[in-house]
Amino acid sequence: MRPEDWLTQLLEIVAALAAAPLFLGWVNQCRAWLQNRRAPSVWLPYRNIRKLFHKDAVIAQNASRFFRLAPYIVFGTMALAAAIIPSMGTRLPLVVSADAIALVGLFATARVFMSLAAMDIGTAFGTLGARREMMVGFLAEPALLMVIFVASLLSASTALPAITEHLATQTLGLDPALAFTAVAFTLVLLAENARIPVDNPSTHLELTMIHEAMLLEYSARHLALMEWSAALKLFNYACIGFALFIPWGVATGHIGPLGLIVAIPTLALKLLLAGGGLALIETLSAKLRVMRAPEFLASAFLFAVLGLLVHVMLGGRG
Amino acid sequence: MISASPLTGCAALLAAWAFIGLAGLLRPSSVRFAGRTLFPLGAVVGLALAGLAGWSLLAGGTEQLVLPLGLPDLPFHLRLDPLSSFFLLLLAASSAGVSVFAGGYFRQGEGTAPGLLCLQYHLFLASMGWVMLADDAYGFMVAWEAMALSSYFLVTTQHRIPEIRRAGFIYLLMAHLGAIAILLSFGVLQGGSWQFTFDAMRAAHLSPAWAAAAFLLALVGFGVKAGLVPLHIWLPEAHPAAPSPVSALMSGVMLKTAVYGLLRVTLDLLGHPAWWWGLVPLILGLFTAFYGVVFAAVQTDMKRLLAYSSIENIGIVFTGLGLSVIFLGAGMQAVAALALLATLYHCLNHAFMKSLLFLGTGSVLHATGERNLGRLGGLIHRMPWVAWLTLVGALAIAGLPPLNGFVSEWLLLQSFLFADRVPHEFVNLLIPMGMALVALCAALAGYVMVKFFGVIFLGQPREATLAHAHDCGPLERLGLAWLALGCLLLGLLPLQVVAALSAVTRQLVGTAVPQAASQWWLLAPVPGRSVSYGPLVFLAATVGIVALTVLAVRLTYHQRVRRAAAWDCGFGLLTPRMQDTAEGFGQPIRNIFQSFFQIERELPAPSDRAPRYRIAIADRFWSAVYEPLGRSVQRMANAVAFLQQGRISVYLLYSFVTLVVLLALALLA
């Protein structure tokens, strides 16, 4: 690995950390436009995080160390996840140590720590949120894994950059297996990021909430980290989607200044479009009852497995 | 004749275990003598055995020995080869932690006297070791039975409780059904030579049909011991009934003796499996894994939850085993070795993580006297050692990187993914489905572990008595820490483990998993594809980023923290009973997989003065298979009961008639 590869690696993490709140702000703005509301500033998530960092932390009396440790772990796993998703270049030194299965493992780690932290205070909301989050997770996680596996089988690798390189250099034309998995991935993205059909990011209505219920006891810097990680997670999922389904524009060789000049605007453009699309889906769909969420996710899982079967039946293995 | 060698060393250490057990009889009622002296001594023997077995595994040689013991014409044959070295290592290394823990665990007044318990415990260990060393069917069966009997007495330690006696009876019954199947399998394997040494069985040439019969009988026999669905019903009864160190050994090690036995019969004694044999363990394994984890999610007893989780893990092990047999039968040695590697690795991992969790429940049980999850909670404050060490096991079994559970699941998924086309279309379609099920089970295991850890250790104490809970003693801490360290090291140094296992895969499928990368910290088991995993770098990156975040936050901003009451929505009456109980936490799973369970609900009516909500979840296999089976056995017994007259003259008449008939037959022949 050459030093500029490490530079790319660093750039990817920093860019993800910096741009994630902006992406969230952009999605919120699009949503407001589509719903005929006055849009908040795209910089609002930054101000929010800054404000939270300056506040005094209030922690419940019986919170254990676990509760205070969890935000850092969740944030750390999300930042590491950003490092191993090829958003700009594919020569990422860290990826040899953590392939896509490890990426799914990272998301699972974040989920488990978040749920356990939510149970730590011992309020009704916390455990309710944890239970629902794990319910969403146990179906979304294998669905995501299956989505990645279809791409792995196409490109004979479980490392995301290798998959991206393979897919980006292919002739244009959608593999039928990938079409199925694209649907599955979209459903997983919505569910995992607490977006509308499954959860509503802008409500604290107890009967429907999942993600917010888990964060109810967090305040100040801990909450800031949790919010930032949520933004990072959305950013990461979007980048996984780009890596699997629209990989063009990512610098595939050793990245140079020229590669960056192409890669950064392409990523920005993709994010702009994805944010708009996400806002559109959220505006067009209604929130499902929590009891219906498993069906939604089961269909995501089945779509992904169907994609896998289609791939096998069409004869392309390995 | 008997010279110093790894095999004699192993045999001597097993004998040492037996002698330590016998020493317990010197002062049978002294907890101090058994706990402070004998159990730690047993752990030391375990460590020595682990060292010896590990050395022999790395050396990779095979050694045989005939002991001048046993029946006159049937001496015991012993053999130490890579397969048995590996399983001895598993037994010895994980039991060392359990033995140390047991030294601090057993107290006065728990049924069986401590000295006797020490005897049973160490005989159990020694017989498990003997199972792995045995090189003839006779010795194997004697060891197998010794293992079943000693563990039966251990399960029924608290024999004054009727449920525990019942659990022990079911265990003994199922163990013997399994033993019969194994015995029959050996009967087929000798192939007409009437030589019951394993060497003779290796040399015997069986027709494909008989070979398949031997395989299926072995699968049933060992499947009972392993807890393969539908033969699993003894497991959720016996594991919770036993004292926690015994549950840890049974779940962590004894289930693996069944895996050992099946591997020995299928890949060593039979040698050339047909590809379709693998389908049976594959499909049964997938079903077992799914069934186990779904049931684990709805349990309310913490040890029963772990028992069902063991069923899940055994399912994953059998899935890997089946996959390996399919690939081997189809002539794809390289992938077969990968699948076998995943199987063995998972066995080793499970021995550490499940023992750790069972011991953790033991400490909780001692501190609180409570096994019901619905009456625990908040123990992380009272029992920090147990809580944090158990957390390691819980995260490992949930398959989270960089701990050990992730590595074996990663290897298994890789062997699913990069199987080249098997020349059977049906299998080609089955493999992706199997992969999906394994992924689903892994995710559900995360659910189960969040429930397990969260309900026991986090939140507020659900009962007032929990305020007096105390952390465990130094010996118990040492045992837990040893197992947690094992989970961590097995996760962080996969390459070293894989290298040690290469001797076993070479012995069983003829090839080892190659190392495609040149770095010592990078696991890259599939040559020609960019597939790799480096847990040390992974851990370093995670720790680095987390540490940087902590540092950045601390340096940039203030660190003021204020403690306040939890937010109660202005309701003002937040009580610990408002937390999810174990039933509550399992509710989504209960609803989603409703058809799996036999649910009995008792709902309160609106007019009830004292509303009662009760829900009981039963295993469908009891009512669908075992109860009808039991009834028909009872009917058959009743039908022949008229023979039993209870008068000695009648029995003498029976003997006489039998003798006459036999004489007549002999004369005619």
Give the tens place of pLDDT for each residue, A175-230.
788 888 999 999 999 988 888 888 877 766 666 678 888 888 888 889 999 999 99
Phi, psi of B230 (to 5 degrees): -95, 20
Q: What's at B621, amino acid-wise?
A: F
Interface probe, candidates B383, B519, B545, B562, chain A, greatest A C-beta count within 10 A:
B545
Q: How confident is the model at residue B172 (pLDDT cuts 50, 70, 90)?
A: very high
Whose CA is closest to B525, among B335, B284, B352?
B335
pLDDT of residue A208: 67
Higher pLDDT, B555 or B109: B555
> Is residue A263's pLDDT more than 90?
no
Contact status of A64 with chain B (Cβ, < 8 Å): yes
Cα separation of A305 and B620, whole Å? 28
**Cβ <8 Å between B459 and A127:** yes
From the centroid of its chain, how far is CA A80?
12
Cα separation of B383 and B29, whole Å? 29
Q: Cβ contacts (< 8 Å) between B459 and chain A: which residues? A: 119-122, 126-127
For A286, other C-beta atoms within 10 Å of its C-beta total 6
3-state DSSP of A21-70: HHHHHHHHHHHHHHCCCCCCCCCHHHHHHHHHHHCCEEEECCCCHHHHHH
What is the percent of chain A with per-residue pLDDT over 70, rounded to a whole number? 94
Q: Cβ contacts (< 8 Å) between A131 and chain B: which residues? A: 580, 584-585, 587-588
Phi, psi of B112 (to 5 degrees): -55, 140
Higher pLDDT, B590 or A251: B590
> Is residue B417's pLDDT more than 90?
no
Whose CA is closest to A250, among A88, A16, A14, A83?
A88
Q: What's at A318, amino acid-wise?
A: G
In this structure, what token pair is assigned to residue B477?
């801490």
Question: Could you say which of B414, B428, B564 has the minimum Cβ distance to residue A61?
Answer: B564
Q: Cβ contacts (< 8 Å) between B378 and chain A: which residues? A: 62, 122
pLDDT of residue A318: 40
Contacts 24+ apart (CB under 8 A), B537-544: B537/A94, B537/A96, B537/A97, B537/A98, B538/A80, B538/A97, B538/A98, B538/A102, B538/B401, B538/B402, B539/B402, B539/B492, B541/A80, B541/A83, B541/A94, B541/A97, B541/A98, B542/A76, B542/A77, B542/A80, B542/B402
Model pTM above 0.80: yes
> Is residue A265's pLDDT more than 90?
no
> Is residue B536's pLDDT more than 80?
yes
Average pLDDT of span A293-301: 89
Question: Could you say which of A162, A294, A308 has the minimum Cβ distance to residue B592?
Answer: A294
> Is residue B255's pLDDT more than 90?
yes
**Cβ <8 Å between B414 and A221:** no
**Cβ <8 Å between B563 and A61:** yes
pLDDT of residue A317: 43
Cα separation of B639 and B641, whole Å? 6
Q: Cβ contacts (< 8 Å) between B294 and chain A: which residues? A: none
> Is residue A295's pLDDT more than 80?
yes
For residue B136, give the DSSP letter.
B
Q: How confident is the model at residue B530 (pLDDT cuts 50, 70, 90)?
A: confident
Count the alpha carbons within 13 Å of A311 in the hemisphere toward its beta carbon.
31
Window from A253-257, B511-515, B570-574, B621-625 with minimum mean pLDDT: A253-257
Contact status of A305 with chain B (Cβ, < 8 Å): yes
Which residues contact residue B5 at a Cβ distance below 8 angstroms, ignoring those fewer than 6 apart?
A: B63
Contact status of A82 with chain B (Cβ, < 8 Å): no
pLDDT of residue B96: 92
Question: Could you say which of A102, A116, A312 has the minimum Cβ distance to residue B432?
Answer: A312
Cα separation of A35 and B447, whole Å? 36
Q: Is the dihedral of CA A106, A112, A117, A123 positive or negative?
A: positive
Residues of B numbered 441-460 whose beta carbons fall under 8 angstroms of chain A's beta carbons: which are they? Answer: 442-444, 446-447, 449-451, 453-455, 458-460
**Cβ <8 Å between B529 and A157:** yes
Residues of A numbered 233-252 whose beta carbons fall under 8 angstroms of chain B's beta carbons: which are they? Answer: none
| Number of A–B residue contacts, CB under 8 Å | 256
How much is the CA Rg of chain A, to the nearest whole Å? 19
Residue carrying structure tokens 């369970």: B597
Average pLDDT of span B438-445: 92
**Cβ <8 Å between B442 and A142:** yes
Cα separation of A87 and A13, whole Å? 10
pLDDT of residue B523: 80
Interface probe, candidates A112, A133, A198, A219, chain B, greatest B C-beta count within 10 A:
A112
Q: Is the peptide bond before B402 cis (omega within 30 degrees of 0)?
A: yes
Q: How confident is the model at residue A316 (pLDDT cuts 50, 70, 90)?
A: low
Phi, psi of B27 (to 5 degrees): -130, 75
Q: Write out the DSSP string of A145-206.
A: HHHHHHHHHHHTBSSHHHHHHHHHTSPS---HHHHHHHHHHHHHHHHHTT-TTT--TT---T
Q: Cβ contacts (< 8 Å) between A111 and chain B: which residues? A: 446
Count the alpha carbons within 13 Å of B467 in the hemisphere toward its beta carbon.
5
What's the maximum distance between 2 C-alpha atoms anywhere in chain B? 102
Q: Cβ contacts (< 8 Å) between B446 and chain A: which residues? A: 108, 111-112, 134, 137-138, 141
Average pLDDT of span B78-87: 92
Question: Could you say which of A102, A137, A146 has the minimum Cβ distance to residue B533?
Answer: A102
